[in-house]
Amino acid sequence: MKKTILYILGLLASGTCFSQHEQDSAWIRDNYIKMEKTIPMRDGIHLFTAIYMPKDNSEKHPILMNRTPYSCRPYGENNWREFWNSHWKYYMRENYIIVIQDVRGRWMSEGNFVDVRPFNKDKTGNEIDEASDTYDAIEWLTKNLPNNNGNVGVFGISYPGFYSTMAAASGHPALKAVSPQAPVTDWFMGDDFHHNGAFFQMDGFSFYSGFGKPRPKPTTAGSRGFDFPIRDNYKFYLENPPSKLMQLIGDSVAFWKEMYAHSNYDDWWQARDARRAMYHIKPAMLVVGGLFDAEDCWGALNLYKAIEKQNPGIHNKIVMGPWSHGQWSRGEGNSLGNIRFGTSTSIWYQNTIEIPFFNYHLKGKGDEPDIAEATIFITGENKWIKFDQWPPKQVQPRPIYLASDGALSWNLPTYLKAGSFSEYISDPEHPVPYTEDVHQSRTNAYMTDDQRFASRRPDVLTFETAPLEEDLTLAGVLTANLKVNISGTDADFVVKIIDVFPENFRYAGDVAQQGRAGGGSYMMAGYQMLVRGEIMRGRFRNSFEKPDAFKPGKIETVKFDLPDIAHTFKKDHKLMIQVQSSWFPLADMNPQQFINIYEAKQEDYKKAAIRIYHDGTNASSIIIPILR
């Protein structure tokens, strides 16, 4: 021991120092033990579970659980998860019992895996769902883990966020606090695989070509994903529409085939809407999401709203920060892509909201934390604002109209005769890219990307205000209300809300540069920041359950919500709206014919003329939520 101390003192004297990660790693290993157990479920299936127990026996400890399809690895009681690289380390400093469980049918757990397994509110006997598996796991843990205090919390990000949602529906009396974070909630309406029925092929295929491969028996080895022969994702998906993706993914991936068989929002999809389980919720709820989360922004916002509506009066809070997927759990959260937020938002959230939330409800530590009903980071203004409801009651929805001269107007067009429109040709062979850059994988930061590249395309309509004379803060639901006429029988509609920075804008300390070569900062002067964007598959304009074709030449309404906004357009900035009919390869290309898109061949994809009307009779607008 004396030699060790002298060695450390020698290192410090010589200017050498252990990293914080090394110190955290050493502390955790010194103060915890790891166990691996197989926990029985009511139907006899056993779920593999890694348990990290504090050595401290001076008090009883709460259990914090994460149920995951992504593995509780590394396997083996001498192999440790690297908690010291994430904010989990703070819970270990608080002496939580950490439990990570492979869900049914994944990795080392027994049973059959079912994606977003439907909740069964009428379970009897040995019938199971993810809620019952959580109940049975909690029951075993509280009865068999020594020195636990009988209080359990569950949290998880993304797919584990779905399992957190199902935990909340379990009804176990020991479950006191749950935090679904970026939770998978509805894979047809807005998360991961689809947005308003449009297939998000790039995320879906890259993820599911590996994740979806069958696992006949428990294993510690994962499946390899698809080996892309073309690294440019735009080129790859242009050459491989959904019908070819089915051939590439193979016959063994069951969920992919089921998804293709259910191209509309039928009973199969509706049963997989996690909001259907959100009744009679007892634990305290903390729903967390990222305003710029490319995967599950929709899930966080809409899960919170469902819990609020279906369980009036319960402890249900929401936090939305300026984050990409899971960014609140790692790093500082002070920027995303080219956009800076001026503060360490992730660290603030961890220390101010999440950890106090669990400490209070699971440990009875301190006074109840001052967590507002909705804690929302307003980008542009770059500050946290607390609201007593979400969307805020101080909001005034107001339409802003698309005008014939490329302007945006607060006033309904005065020319009443129908016939004022802007037109573009949507060409499936040359779809509008979702980002200017060339990538293999979808970027995290595209949701704040510069849209100047899109403004320069003839198949993108651009409308903008004059420079604002005062700050304009939008907070809440955005609704696109388009009056359209198309030459085909189907089309997609993408609406983007953009903050146009002044031509003299520069972040403090930036070195101005032309282009991207030669180092320095990105050219922010005139930056067109994507604040909100969403796609609508036109065939679902009247019903997601029963799609219908457009009648060429007929003016029709396409109305849909974008994910909630929380952004201040500063004085001298401009508000811009772009409208287009492809967002590629983020979403698959619509053949612009009313056919089964999953089966469409290359020759089925046709050009279409798209008209967006802006006259007094057919006035296209975006209804924006102005915070007063």
pLDDT exceeds cutoff 60 at 18: no
CB 361 within 8 A of CB 177: yes
Convert the pLDDT of each residue in 479-505 to its tens digit: 999 999 999 999 999 999 999 999 999
In the prediction, which pLDDT does 19 show?
A: 75
In the prediction, which pLDDT does 20 show?
A: 78
CB 471 within 8 A of CB 571: yes
Q: Domain 395-505+519-627 falls in which CATH fold?
A: Jelly Rolls (2.60.120)
pLDDT exceeds cutoff 50 at 450: yes
Chain-centroid distance of CA 625 in Å reads 22
In the prediction, which pLDDT does 99 show?
A: 98
Convert the pLDDT of each residue in 263-273 to its tens digit: 999 999 999 99
pLDDT exceeds cutoff 70 at 144: yes
pLDDT exceeds cutoff 50 at 523: yes
65-69, 368-372, 453-457, range with the lowest pLDDT: 368-372
The dihedral over CA atoms of 265, 185, 315, 568, expressed in degrees to the nearest 10, equals: -100
Chain-centroid distance of CA 214 in Å reads 25
Q: Which pLDDT band, with edges at 50, 70 and 90, does 419 fall under?
A: confident
* 217, two tokens: 């028996």
Q: Which pLDDT band, with edges at 50, 70 and 90, does 417 fall under?
A: low
Average pLDDT of the chain is 94
Of 423 and 86, more confident = 423
Q: Is the pTM of this model over 0.85?
A: yes
Q: Which pLDDT band, with edges at 50, 70 and 90, does 428 fall under?
A: very high
CA atoms of 499 and 527, how far apart (whole Å): 8
Strand partners, 155: 179
For 617, half-sphere exposure in the C-beta direction (CA atoms, 13 angstrom radius) is 8
**Domain range annotation of the chain:** 2-186+272-387, 194-270, 395-505+519-627
pLDDT exceeds cutoff 60 at 15: no
Q: What is the mean pLDDT of residues 14-23?
A: 63
In the prediction, which pLDDT does 24 show?
A: 87
Q: Which CATH superfamily is domain 2-186+272-387 in?
A: Alpha/Beta hydrolase fold, catalytic domain (3.40.50.1820)
Q: Domain 194-270 falls in which CATH fold?
A: alpha-amino acid ester hydrolase ( Helical cap domain) (1.10.3020)
Which of these, 584, 590, 492, 530, lies nearest to 233 by C-alpha position?
A: 584
Q: What is the mean pLDDT of residues 610-626?
A: 96
Per-residue exposure over 504-513, b if at least 16 CB sit within 10 Å of its own CB, e if not: ebeeeeeeee
Q: What DSSP designation does 15 have?
A: T
Q: Which pLDDT band, with edges at 50, 70 and 90, does 516 fall under?
A: very low
Q: Which pLDDT band, with edges at 50, 70 and 90, does 418 fall under?
A: low
Q: Which pLDDT band, with edges at 50, 70 and 90, does 508 fall under?
A: confident
Q: Which pLDDT band, with edges at 50, 70 and 90, does 22 fall under?
A: confident
CB atoms under 10 Å from CB of 479, counted, come to 16
pLDDT exceeds cutoff 70 at 73: yes
Convert the pLDDT of each residue in 237-265 to its tens digit: 999 999 999 999 988 899 999 999 999 99
pLDDT exceeds cutoff 90 at 399: yes
pLDDT exceeds cutoff 80 at 510: no
Q: Which residues contact 12 (CB under 8 A, 6 or more apart)?
A: none
